[in-house]
Structure 1
Amino acid sequence: MAIIQIPSEYGYVLLAAVSTFFVGAWHGGRVGAFRKAAKIPYPYEYASYEQVQTASPQNSKLMLAFNAAQRAHQNFNENLPIALGAMLIAGLKYPTAVGVLGAVWSVNRVVYAVGYTNSGSEGGKGRYYGALWMVSHYVMILMAGKAAFDFAMA
């Protein structure tokens, strides 16, 4: 059985992990603001295709921006558990690298969301500006797998 020692640099990992909490809260507030502007009442998750098609051009644009903000937030929520788990596991072995990758992940989740909402009427193509989150995401997953394997073999 391996004895796991928390490296002194693990604080970087925790800072990166905590940054995701702020990004998640920011996403929620952003969706709320776009919901209000688009006049989409609760409990409706999105503006429907029919609503968007029959709205005035200005309202249609607001609805598409809301849909894009909502989708960016959901994409964030879908990927957050994996990113946090990977950070916390990989950070035991590679704390400085994971601290940097986690920060890159968080910053690019914001870039992704802003790009997505600013290009909602174009299918959200602006989200690709924040695609670096995905690179850091998969690198952290691989690092977590390597760290877990090394701990299991110790």
Structure 2
Amino acid sequence: MATITVSPDYGFVVAVAIASCLLVFFFGSRVASYRKIAQVPLPFLYADANECKEDHKKLIFNCYQRVHQNTLEGFTTYLVMLLLVGLEYPIASAVLGGIWCVGRYFYYYGYSSGHPGSRQMGAFGHLGWLGLLGLAGKMAFDLIMSRP
């Protein structure tokens, strides 16, 4: 039977997980508040291209919405890797998760400017995700190889 011992450093991983959730909440709140400003009624997720050409506020709304949706698309994978990797490598996991969070914020900042190409300033956040993926793979390999 295997046992899991959690290091006190795992607290940093939990703190980054909380910060990540707050970041996603912040992105969602920006969508909700700008929806009113741009007058995009529910249940529509986006304004269409013609509306955006006529009203810049609708384009900005779409940018906020896309940041939020794009973040949600990968959030589950990121969070699972953050928490799993943190069991073996808590400091590395917290640092990589922090890189992901800061990258996501810069992605948000660039995208929500109304110039979607500016989102690339947050591309370095992928390094955090890729680092977590690599460490998760290493953990899987080490566990499989340690079988009796």
Both structures adopt the same fold (TM-score exceeding 0.5): yes
Residue matched to 2:125: 133
Q: Does the 8 A contact of 1:2 with 1:152 survive in 2?
A: no
Aligned length: 146
Residue matched to 1:29: 29
CA distance in 2, matches of 1:88, 1:145: 14
Aligned partner letter, 1:5: T
Q: Does the 8 A contact of 2:99 with 2:127 survive in 1?
A: no
Deviation at 1:139, TM superposition (A): 0.9
> Paired residue for 2:57, among 50, 56, 62?
62
Aligned partner letter, 2:138: K
Correspondence 1:90-109 to 2 at 5 A = 90-109=85-104
Q: Does the 8 A contact of 1:90 with 1:98 survive in 2?
A: yes
Q: Does the 8 A contact of 1:89 with 1:147 survive in 2?
A: no
Residue matched to 2:68: 73
Alignment gaps of 5+ in structure 2: none
TM-score, normalised by the number of residues in structure 2: 0.92
TM-score, normalised by the number of residues in structure 1: 0.88
Aligned partner letter, 2:119: R
Aligned partner letter, 1:126: S
Alignment gaps of 5+ in structure 1: none
Correspondence 1:105-120 to 2 at 5 A = 105-118=100-113, 120=114
How big is the alpha-carbon RMSD for the aligned residues of Structure 1 and Structure 2?
Answer: 1.4
Q: Does the 8 A contact of 1:92 with 1:147 survive in 2?
A: no
Runs of at least 4 residues of structure 1 off by over 2 A?
1-4, 151-154
After superposition, give the CA deviation of every residue in 1:26-62 in whole Å (9 maximum; x if it has no partner): 0111111221111111111000012223x2xxxx211
Larger RCO (alpha carbons 8 Å, 6+ apart): 1
